Chains A and B, each alone.
Chain A
Amino acid sequence: MIHKDLIIIGGGPSGLSAAKTALESGISVLILERSNHLGGQLVKQTHKFFGSKEQYAKTRGYDIAQKLLLDLKHFENLTIKTESTVVGLYSDNVVTVLSADKYERYQAKAIIVAAGASEKFLAFENNDLPGIYGAGAIQTLMNLYGVLPGKEAVMVGSGNIGLIVSYQLIQAGVKVKAIIEASSKIGGYKVHASKIARLGIPILTSTTIKKAIGETKLESIEIVLLDENWKEIEGTSKNIKVDTLCISVGLTPMHQLISMIGAEMKFVSELGGFVPIINEHHQTSINSVFICGDAIGIEEASSAMMEGYLTGLYVSKYLKHEHPEYEKETIKYEKQLSMLRDGPFGSKTKVGLQKLKEGNLHVES
């Protein structure tokens, strides 16, 4: 069995950021990433990011991924294994991994779960027809593999992902016929919505999808209006001919490994689903297991990066190998994270984190 100081599960923005501050502290780090690339969702994000300079504002997502990797280049204590899926997390800090048909075991003094999130699904008739995709999948298909999902699309969901991916569909040459949103308001940033509106794409609020129609693949959809109680309004059904339907109805944290190890969990809808109870150092109820990024609550990549830097710092303290500039760096990133959450879009996360604190427990280092 291979031993490390720190194992980071997940090589996306929060995992890579955590690795940086941990490595700066002199800790040996192993990053385990199930896909064949590092950078998580960033590698297929073709839009320019928000935030401030420290979060690489106005830089396109795929370039941010490159910058995060560059930051790790000169560290010697770093091992990275891609195409390595963590299949088990055990209470003696053992991580079991499936990699190239081999089953491997690693043990560490501390573990950071940076496994991100998975897309939620939507229940409607025939929702399993080929031609129906998660919005993230559409991005992967178009931006990573250069494959067109179809010719005519409808997007379900007007959060940031729904709005951004609709724009990216148009950039790829797909006709977007509408964005439908069950609530009465657009969920994402209004600047994203305005970018879409000026292209003549209708954003239909208080609308949901009733069913998908097609024999062996999607041919059209039936949409219907909803009243203030989320109930269908009779007689408002409409059909739209499409070969591509994108479902963008939110993300939910990947809680599986943390649940497996028996950390105390709580369902917090503001954070996206099941999350472990953590203290202010992102430490779960299992002393040696920490968590950051979307796995502890759905936010933006900018927050994931800040959380990653902080969790790497907190782990350095836990391992009694404190970062040489612990105070300064912690204050810096905590301040930035707080600022990212200060606007109206951050209030949901703040409420969620508060709820998590209320199910709190004191953890000994």
Chain B
Amino acid sequence: MLNRNGVPSLEQILSRFPKSASLTRPKAILECYEDIPCNPCETSCPFDAINIGSNINTQPKLDVEACTGCGICVTSCPGLAIIVAQIKGQEAIFKIPYEFIPYPNKDEIWHGLNRKGDVICDAKIEHVSLNKKQDHTMLVTVSVPVIHLHEFVTIRSKHE
């Protein structure tokens, strides 16, 4: 339960996922489930795809059509609460924020974790990006089996 252990329910997670038909293109999943005064996702989006409005305590809403899955919101969110998801055949491709070292590198295989921190699958690192605008938040593109579309959220190195 989110209030007790920081883990959202499946219902909460699904409420932020656009229908699977829309996920042929990458789309942002805004996992901001609480009213807090914050709006950099809205102001960072170059496509005006995120709406919060004048009361910045409002939870953000995604304009699915306008979203291109660029991932700028992923590295702008101070709560690291946004990921980008896409379905590509048998795989789900995600763009996630990552702020630990050692950094992942392209083609490596890492552990794929769910929101409780359990290892659920292998995650293949497809791409990494770390530019000045991201301000030390790396954007990692990973692919996992599509069956984990609603479970996967982050990665952990296989070397401890």
Contacts and interface: CB of A to CB of B under 8 A. Distances in A.
| A, B bound | yes
Interface of A: 47-53, 57-60, 170-171, 184-186, 189-203, 205, 302, 339-346
Contacts of A197: 5-7, 115-117
A186 B78 contact: no
Contact of B135 (A48, A190, A201, A302): A48
A199 B55 CA distance: 32
Contact of A191 (B34, B44, B135, B156): B34
28 contacts: A48-B77, A48-B135, A50-B37, A52-B56, A170-B100, A171-B99, A171-B100, A190-B8, A190-B33, A192-B79, A193-B2, A194-B7, A194-B31, A194-B79, A195-B79, A197-B6, A197-B116, A198-B113, A198-B116, A198-B153, A200-B116, A201-B117, A202-B5, A203-B6, A339-B37, A342-B37, A343-B35, A344-B35
B57 A343 contact: yes
A339 B57 contact: yes
Contacts of B153: 198
B154 interface: yes
A198 B117 contact: yes
Given A189-B79, A194-B31, A57 B4 contact: no
A57 B76 CA distance: 9
A346 B40 contact: no
Contacts of B81: 191, 194
Contacts of A189: 34, 36, 79
B118 interface: yes
Nearest to B32: A191
B78 A58 contact: yes
Contact of A57 (B32, B40, B156): B40
B43 A190 contact: no
B45 interface: no
B128 interface: no
Contacts of A57: 38-40, 43, 78
B109 interface: no
Give the interface size class of chain B: 35 or more
B146 interface: no
B6 A194 contact: yes
Contacts of A186: 3-6
Nearest to B113: A198
Given A57-B78, A200-B118, A190 B3 contact: yes
Given A185-B3, A190-B34, A342-B57, 16 more contacts: A52-B39, A53-B40, A57-B38, A58-B77, A171-B100, A185-B4, A186-B5, A191-B81, A193-B6, A194-B2, A194-B8, A194-B31, A199-B156, A200-B117, A343-B37, A345-B37
Contacts of A171: 99-100
Contacts of A196: 6
A52 B54 CA distance: 10
A5 B61 CA distance: 48
A355 B153 CA distance: 43
A198 B5 contact: no
A197 B4 CA distance: 11
A99 to B, nearest CB: 36
Contact of B37 (A52, A53, A60, A200): A52
B80 interface: yes
A59 to B, nearest CB: 8
In the A-B complex, the 5 residue pairs with the closest CB atoms? A200-B117, A191-B79, A193-B6, A343-B57, A197-B6
Contact of B78 (A48, A185, A193, A343): A48
Given A194-B31, A198-B115, A343-B36, A60 B55 contact: no
Nearest to B99: A171
A200 B36 CA distance: 24
Nearest to A192: B79
* Residue with the highest number of chain A CB atoms closer than 10 Å, among B5, B32, B77, B117: B5
A340 to B, nearest CB: 5
Given A198-B116, A302-B37, A343-B36, A205 B4 contact: yes
B160 to A, nearest CB: 10
A340 B56 CA distance: 8
B154 A198 contact: yes
Contacts of B38: 50-52, 57
A298 to B, nearest CB: 16
Interface in B77-103: 77-81, 99-100
A346 B37 contact: yes
Contacts of B43: 52-53, 57
A295 to B, nearest CB: 21
Contacts of B57: 339, 342-344
Contacts of A205: 4-5
Contacts of B34: 189-191, 344
Nearest to B38: A50
A241 B108 CA distance: 34
